[in-house]
Every structure is written in structure tokens, then in C-alpha cells.
Structure 1
Amino acid sequence: MALSYGWKDVIVIFEDTENGRDMDTFITNFLQEKRITVTYMSPISTSSNNEVLQEELHKLSNMQTKLYIIHAAHSLAFHIFKNAKCLGMMDAGYKWIVTSKTMDLLDFMDDEAMEFMQGVVGLKSYVPQSRDLKKLTLKNHVMEPKHINMVVTQVLEIINVIGKEEVKVGFWTTDAGFTKKIGKMNYFPYDVLEPIVWPGGFCHDVFVAAFQALDPNVAFEFIPITHAGVGQEFDAAIGDITITSNRSLYTATLSSLLTVEQIQLASNRGLIGYHHNIPIQLGVIVSNMNFKETRLKPYNTLEEIADALTRGSKKDGVNAIVDEIPYIKEFLAHYSSGYTMVVSEDITNGFGFVFPKGSPFTAKSSTQIAKFREEGGLQMLQEKWLGQKSDSKSSPALYILNFKGLRGLFLISEVSMVLSLFLFMVYYTHEKLHSTYENAMLAGGKLAFILRFLSPKSGIRS
């Protein structure tokens, strides 16, 4: 995988156990056979505390190589990513690949662990769905990782952690190499796998691009904003920003806008879905006169939304989803077939930046982002992070109204106008000729009477 993406140098991080050391030797030998240089091998003790981990990670961050391969138990991997996040090593520019030892137990990690692993790519043992597997899952839905006997398979799924979900990028088999689907052979994942979203993000990249254009010498540090960080002072904030009363001292640039204003479905009986994890969402949707709270259904994941849209309101699903534009685009990136977005006015209707009131960066960043958009840079980043990941051939073709599409209507209108004009001219000409004829007849009659009166042959005597 590293070879196919053109990476020549990697750093291997492994747990300092017998199994970890054996795997480190195997990985190193395998990479060297592929002419990939292992610039550093970092053994991590399973008993390492945060201070030790940060010291080791800080040393790694100062090295030129920014691609890391981790082979460690899920508990140790969690602490590694947690400390890497604190050091800014989960931002753009860093790439993380983990082995199946961590990814096989990803389902047992909580939301906090998933948050620290954003953008991570890993290999996970592939177990085909079956009735027996489904029964086992339903029966043992509260299983702990220690109760699981790992199944060794010859097929691995390539997983990309995005949000709270595992996005399937493709598969790898010992015989076929990398492929999007089982049974299709291809040894070069760069061309056949779904796009991988590495650490970073749309807002992050726009912010960096804007400020590097303003002043390349400006240094900034990204710090995660958590509930525990309420009250902390920041020079700026990026992401899904909502302005509330305790943030009245700040001003927003390109702040998040919803797409629900003045939307009305063709049917008033259908149910509507929305993201349950966004507190402001319900209040905004309910306040819209076209929607009632009784028609709303909350959902947590993209899979749940796709399933609800597929089933529809008649089968306990929904007829539509109301959400913020970036979230809708992320949904369409994974489920483009059969769905489309309506009422999207502008590319800036999405996530934004927030600065303290009076900050000189407010106007400067707005100007720079507008310039960035005009030059096409913003569109390129949007395609990178929110672009279509599904097969474009399966996307529904939107019928756009234009002159060609309305030529029939225009033809009917033109024919009607010409016919109306023709009938008017006929009527007008007829009336004009009739009036002229009557006048001529009247004039002719008077002249004949006068001539008869004046003529001596008329028999009238004076």
C-alpha cells in the first residue's frame, strides 16, 4: 500500500512485547523487500504513561518522515493517538496506518477513541456476513474484547476512520492484492481503491491556505475544542461553529448555515430525518413553518440515514433528510445513487472560522477566501473532502431547465402569438374595409342626389 502511493520512508511503532517485536521484524523485512526505508523503529511499552508517550511522539514529529505504521493492542493504540492529537500529529501532513491488531477491535472503542483516530487507515480482518454471524452478534452484543477469539482470514478490509464511522476503502487478499470488491484482482490500490481521507479536514485546509496566502510566516497551532475547554481563550476557531450567548464577543466568517429555510415537501404526510448529534438542529427545523416536530425522526450515522431513505415513510423510514450543507455533501459522497441535494445556494454556506471582535484577520480572511474561491482553490478542496466517492455513473441525472429543455413550450407560445397577431390583423383589416365601404357608399349616395337635384333632366322646376 505504501509503495503504491509512492511513499519511500516510514516509521514503525510497535508494542514492546514478544509478539510486537516479531511483527516489527516481519514488517521491516517486508518493507525492505519492497525498497521502502524504515527510517526509525519505535518500541512502546504497554505500561507507558502519557509523559513517556508524548516524549517519544515529540521525537518522532521532529523527524522528516511523517508516515507511521502502528502495530499495537487497541488500548495502547488509543493512548498513542490521544497523545498524538495533543501534539498536533493528527493534523494534515501526517499519515497513520494501523494493523489488524488494533482495527479488529475498533467496534469496541468509544466515541472518544474514534475522535482521536480521525483519518487513520487500517487493515481489518474480513468476515463475510452470514446467518450464523448475525445470530452470534445478536446473542453476544455485549461481548468484551477479551472474550473474543480472533479469526485468522486471508482477506483484509481497508478501513478509513471518518467521523464515528468506518468507511470501507477496499480489500486486500493474499492472492489478488488490492481491490474494491472481492474476486477482482488488482495490485495497485491507488487506482482502484476508494479515496482515502487522511488527517486534516476541509476547514483545516481552507484555513491554512488562506493564512499562508496572507502571510507565509504566520505560525499557528491547532488545539481541539472540547466541552472541558469552554471558557478558554483562542485567537480563532474553525469547524462547525454555532454562535450562542456565551460567544457574543466573537464574530464569524462563513458561519454555518442550514438549508431548511422555506423548504416544503410535495407531501405533508412524509417523515423527515435529521442528525440527532447536533443539538441546534431540532430547534431550527421545528421553527420552520413547513415542518412539525411530530414528523421528525433523529438518526446518528450515515448508514441509518441511507437505510431510512431507502425504506421511506411507509416502511418506518423517511422521505427526506434536513441537515447542514457539508453534512449533506458528506452523505452524498458515500451514497450518491438515488439521492440529490436541493436548495444549495453557494459554496460558502457551510463551516466557517470565528475570530474575536475587532480582529484584523476577520476582513482579511474573508477577502482571501473570496479570492481563493474565484481562483478555483475552494472548489478543489471541496472535491477533495466532500466530493463524490461513489461511482458517478450511478448518480441520478438532474434535469436542468434551460432553453433546449423548454423549446416545446417556447414553440407553443410563439405559434400562439403569431396566430393571435394574424387573427387580429384579419379582424382589423375586415373592420377597416367595411368602414371604408360604408363611407364610400354614403358619400356616393349624397353626390348622386345633388347631381339629380341640379340636373335639368331631373324634371324638377324652379
Structure 2
Amino acid sequence: MSDIITKQGKMTPGQVRCNYTSQPNDKTALQLIKDAEVQAIIGPQNSMQADFVIQLGEKAQVPIISFSATNPSLTSLRSPYFFRAAQNDSSQVKAISAIIQAFGWRQIVPIYVDNEFGEGIISFLVDALQDIDARVPYRSAIAPSATDDEIGRELYKLMTMQTRVLVVHMAPKLGSRLFTKAKEIGMMSEGYVWIITNGIANSLNAIEPSVLESMQGVLGVKTYTPNTKELQNFTVKWKRKFQQENPSIIDADLNVLGLWAYDAASALARAVEKVGTTSFGFETTNASSNLTHVLETMGTSQNGPKLRQVLLGTRFRGLAGEFNLVNGQLESSTFQIINVNGNGERAVAFWTPGRGLSKKLNASNTPAYSTSKNNIGPIIWPGDASSVPKGWEIPTNGKKLRISVPAVGGFKEFVNVQYDNSTGTPQVTGYCIDVFKAVMETLPYAVRYEFIPFGQSSTTFDDLVYQVFLGKFDAVVGDVTILADRSNFVDFTLPYTESGVSMVVPITDNGKKNAWVFLKPLTWDLWLTSCCFFVFIGFVVWVLEHRINEDFRGNHANQIGTSLWFSFSILVFAQREKVVSNCTRFVAIIWIFVVLILTQSYTASLTSLLTVQQLQPTVTDVDQLFKNGDQNVGCQKGSFIFGMLKRMKFKESQIKQYNTTEECDELLSKGTANGGIAAAFDETPYMKLFLGKYCSKYTTVQSVYRTDGFGFVFPKGSPLVSDVSRAILNVTEGGKIKEIESAWFGKETNNCPDSNTRVSSHSLTVASFWGLFLIAGVASLTALIFSLSVFLYKERYKIFAPSVAEVSIRGKIQRILTVFDSLDSLHPAGEKLQQEKNNKVFPKGSPLVNDVSRAILNVTEGEKIKEIESAWFEKETNKCPASNALLSNNLGLASFLGLFVIDGAASLAALIFSLSRFLYKERVLTEFDSIDRFHPAGEKLLQERNNMRYERNPPN
């Protein structure tokens, strides 16, 4: 204080009273205010004494300036006369969380002294850790008076836990004992992370070297004090004076608490100087010996309000840095991250509220706020390790992980618990167990665990998960589904199975093996279209061949029958009639192509209907279950699906539960009418196993609910979750998972054919063949128009002769039909036909007929006819292979539309061509039915008719 009084020239030593006591208490402060009438108090020294003193100062309007009471809860008192000339403990939690975030640690255990000083920081620390997704699974509180044995028991408890990141907040004296014990039991070894707050870090220079030896590798958050010239000069003077007063203590150092005390006294001296010293005094009241009455009758400082106002505005550069009280609190400044190494500390980084972590102060390349570990210098960790600890370990010297597994119910292929008859030891097997073991083997470190069966017949999976939340188990391994509501209490790993809930229903054969099944391959519209085209093609062929081909002549019934016979016989390629018109051949070729495809398709479809089993589900969706009435449904016992079905509006009486695949099969086989179920709802892995066993009876028809599959359960924030999840990815992406699936499900799934091989035959529709019919129709119409055009052109003189110009339309039509019905002698085929008739017909009653007929019999019954046939036809017939039957497929009309289009077009073209020729040659409407003498075939046919007339009526 003498140094401060010297600097403040207007103050005298008589105006300053310093009361030093080794055990300050509430009574001391009361005496200073009441008896000594002090105008301000610098103190108290710790947070436990602060509450009463602060209230006392507020009552007497005396400023209380503390340089060591750092408890954040003191701020909540909101006393206008309390000033904290030290950093609030809560200001360092952001620096601690930045360190933790930089190294990616997820769980932290605070170790703190069990008093107001220790507890004050915990809530702020937890909030800061939650902001970076870190958890505090346990809080270790140590009493201020704890013995070494009590400290050791608490540390041993921490050793059995997984978390290895420990934050220590306590006074240096208790902290020294803690680290000495931790070193003794092996907790200062590799893998541990120790972080001390500024409660110990600010006083490291006062800790004995033996204790520092136990703290090697510890990280600390320490208040940063700039090394100014003024500080250096003051430190030299302080050491000199301290050495004079304490000659037994050598090389003492001044910590930041001393600097804060000096700055607090300097601020008060500045304020007193500014206010003046002439008005010091108290307004007193009647004295009392009773403490409560004393507070009520205590006087108030006349100068206190002025000192308070001046202190709030006091700003200067002190020994500890900038002195600026914001709302009565020293403004937060920079923290230094230190690493205990050797006989002292080493700075590895700095932290500021604005820039976060940085290796140097005021670094220009530091971003706005950084928590990167690249901004932290090299650190020597406990155990002289240079690699960053992962922050957690499975305690090998502690108990094993307690892994809970479902004890009863469920599909035994997933989890099966059996007990040894002699020892009673549980033997746990199953798909989930093998996956978990494979995952544990993939981890880069060893994990000791044991399986503990849990549950009774009424136990649900939610009950099993909740046991982890209660801390009774360390994990759950089994067919546990990842659900949102469960994740509120526990953490799940990534899934290791397929996801989703499906509905399984029985299947039935819908095949109709009856006498009329041959009609089913084609739909009615295709049948009708085909029949119409057969008639149409027959008509086109008749038009094209009638005037030049004897096979298509005769009475009307014979002409109709021959035309239809020709068209339909193409189905089996058995047509006997020869065609002589090129237009007819064009139409026939296209129609043969259409019929070939149509018959092949029909044959294949009919074969499918008669031979392939057509399996269809009895129910197609959930809505159908409601439409069919009160249908029962099923789910696995203890599953969350029971609640899901109730939310889907199924009555509880409609929901039946099962434990095994056999029970599910029995319920589905009975059906609702016999006390069974119409559909089963279960998760995809279960249904996959079930269908593997009973694929011939059931099928999956709908995915009704989405889940995330099966996962392993761990406590909230467990560090094992991330490592186990990565191990699951390694197992599921490799070949190991296939080996496990094959071992547990291979027999069932291999016996089941692929569901895609089930055939459901459908009738062929006209849409599959409209292209074929269109082509056939256009071709036929083209041929028809062409033929008629030629007919009209050839017979134009007969049809359009002047003699028939005045004939009625009906008469003209009759004339055209008459001309058309005659042989076309101008066509080569018609001419040849006429000649054949002239040459091969004998006159009526000719004696040659009988003799020639007998001679024909002699030739055809002898070897001569074979010699003639061999000479003319043997080469061609030997070249022709036997024809094979063709099978058809089940198709619709759309598949044949192109063929019909081609055939129609060809037929139409031939018809147009024939009619054109007819109109050109005859020209007279009434002679349409006459023979086309300009067509070679018509000419031949006309000659044959003339010969026949000559024989019937020979000239006289």
C-alpha cells in the first residue's frame, strides 16, 4: 500500500487503514464498518465469505472490492456496492470447451471441490460442453476436508469408467493432494487427459516441485498477464521486500491474484483521490449488541455512493492488464493454455473471446474464431506420450461391459439363449450375436464384455432399452429396432440390417383349368378383331381372284366358302387354292406373316395358362383388410409394431401376437374365420427369414412403415458408438456379413425360388396387335383398290358404254357385277384358264371320254406316273425340310398391330389395283360380273368357256 500511497500524492498514510487477519470472518468486516467506519473494503479472500460481506456493504453503502472471490454465483446477488477485480470463473469455460472441441473429445468428467467455489462453475461448464455436443456422464465432487483415502476411492471409481478426459477445479492445496494420489494409483499414465482451471493454473509457481512431478502432461487454462516494464519493476521491488520480511522463503513469485489485489487497491486509491477526503463519515444510529438489530441500526457511509460511481468509471492499465469494471465485473481478457512439463509450465496456445485458439496473440492469419488443434503447439501428454489421447478407454482393470440380450421370445435365429444343464451358464447365440462379435473383433482395441440375458415373457424391447438408460446395463445386443422415441434415452449405432415393416399374406393359385381356358389367351376385342380380319382378307382375295381364278368362281355359296376357307386355312398353312394374281400373293404373304405371329403368341400364352402356377396374394394392401371386415392381423410379441397397428385403427382384439415363425405360419394358415390372422406385420429381417421357410405359401405385398433397421444400444453419449458404427460399416461392406447371413439364414433362403420367377399370365389384347392388323388392312385395301381400278379400266367399254348411260344406278351395279363375274381373258391367268377349258373339255357325248379316262387310270396306277413325277418334281421336293410346329406366347394386340397394318395395307393395295384394272378394261357398270378378257387368266378362262359351249352346241 505504501507504493500506491506514494503514487497518489494527495493521500496520506493516516487516511488508509489496513486490517490483515489470518482468519477473516463476517465479524471482522462488521467491526471495520461499524467501529472503524471504513469507506471501502478490499476482500474477502474467497467466495464462501463473500455473501454476508456483500450484503453488509450494500446495507452500509460501503464498496466491497474482491480480487479472489471468483464464484460466478456472486454475480446473481446484483449488489451495486460489490466489485469483482478478478476474472469470473465462468469466463474460462469457453476456453476449456475450445480445447475439448479441438481434439474431438465427446465425454468429460469434472472433478471439483464440494463447496460454493467448486459448484459455481459446473453449470456453466456443462452448458459450454453441450454447445459442442460433448457430455458430462459423471461429476466427481471431493469434500474440502477429504482424506487421501477418500480421494483415492473416488479416483479408483473414475478408473472403472470409460471417460479419460478430466477437468479439475479446486484450490491449489486440495489439487496438489489429488494429483499426488492420481500419480500413485496410475492415473497419470498414457491415455488420460487432465485439464486444470485457473484456480490451480494461476498458482503453479507456488506448488511444490514434488507435486509438479506428479502433474506432468497436465493442460491448464491460466489468466494471461502481459509482461510489461512496469510489471517487471514492480516484481523486483516486491521480491526484495518479501525477502526482507520472509527470509526463509527463497525465490518467491507473485501470481495473478497478487496483481489483481494491487490493481484493486490502485483503483480504490484513484477513486478516493477523485472523490476527496474531506467528507469521510457515517450517519450513525443507536448501537445494539444483537447482530440482527445491529444490521438494522447500522449507519451508512456518506461518501460510499460517490466512491461507487467513480469506481465504475475507473479505467487504467494495471499490472495484470487493462482494469475496466463492466457492471462491477473485471472484463474478461485473454487466457493462456499451458502444458505442465519439467519443473514448470510451457505455453502452447492462447485463447481470446473474439478469435478462439491461436499460437500467438494478435496473429493476422487467425480466422474470426478457431477451435482447430493446428493452432495449439506440441503437447507432452501424461505418460510422456506425444500422440493425442482418444479421451476414453475400456477399463481393462475394471469390470467387463455388461451386454444385455433378450432372454425370451423372438425368432431364435436372431438371438437364442440356452442354459447349460450342469452349470446353469447362459449360452447366447444367433445372427445378432455373431454380428456383434465380428464388429468387436474389427475394433482397433480389445473390449471385454459379457452377455447377460434379461427379460420375462411380458418384457418388451422398450423395457430392455430403458435398462440402459437406468444404467443397469452398458449396452443391448439383439434384434432391437432403431426408433426415434428410443433415441431420446439411448444412443444407437448405425444399422446392420435392412429396414422397414412389411405385410405378409397368404397366396393362392388363380389359374382356371376349365374347358373354356383356350379362349383366355386372347381378350374379346382381339378375338373379334382377328375374326373380322379373316373375313376381310377372304373378301380381298375373292375380289382379286374372282375374274381370273376358277377356284374362286361358281355359285355364291361356293365363292364365299372358298374365300373364307382360303383366309382361315392360312392358320395352319393348309390352303389348297392356287392364286394367280400378284396382288393376291402380296396380300397373302403379309397375312401369313400376321397369322404366324398371332398363332405363335396364342400357343405360348395358352401353354402358360395350362402349365404355370399363377400365384396371387389374398390381400393386396392394408385398406383391403378394413374393407373385408374385422380381419385379424398379427405381429411379433413385445415388438413396437403392436402399438403401430393400434395407431392404424386396428382393435386390440384383432391383433394376435406370436413368438416364432412356426406360430406365425399356424395363424396365417387358419385365417381370421378360424381364429387366425389374415396378414402378419413384421420387420424386413424377420419377414425375409419367414418367407425363406414358407415361400410357397406367403408373399410380401406392401411396405407399411419405415424404420432404420436393427442397431446396438449404448448409453447416451457413449464414446463406443462412433467406433462401433465404423466397425459395422467395415463388416457390412465386406464379405463377413454374407458369411454370417449364410450360416443362419442360408438353408431357408436357398430352398425358396426367386419371387420374380412366379408367372402371372394375362390374356392377349387387341392393343398388342393393332399394328399388325393395320398393316394387313392397309395392304389388303391397297391391293383391292388397285385391282378394282385395273378392272374398271379394262372393262370401261362394257361398263361405261353409251347404251347403258341411261340405265338406273341399280342397273349399272348389276352390269358391273356381271362383267366382274366373267373371266378376265386379257389377264394371262384368265387366258390360260380359258385355253385349258377349251383344250381339256370334250364335246357332250364324245366317245373319247371313256377311253381317255381308262387310259388315265392305267397311267396313274402304274409306274409311269412316278417316273414322270420324279423327272419333274424330285429335285425340288428333296430340297424341302419337314416343317416344325411353332409355339406361341401370351401377348396382347399391341404386339401384332404392325403385322395387321402391313397385311391390311397389302390387301388394300391389291384390291385397289384389281378394281382399277377392272374399271379401265370394262368401263360399263352393268358388265362388272363379266370375265376380264384383257387379263391373261381371264382370257384363258373365256376360251375354256367358249370351248364348253361349242361342245354342248356343236355346229350343224
User: Shorter-chain TM-score: which interval?
Assistant: 0.3 to 0.5
TM-score (structure 2 length as normaliser): 0.21
TM-score by length of 1: 0.42
Higher relative contact order (CA 8 A, sep 6+): 2
**Structure with larger Rg:** 2
Q: Identify, as 1 or 2, the structure richer in helix.
A: 2
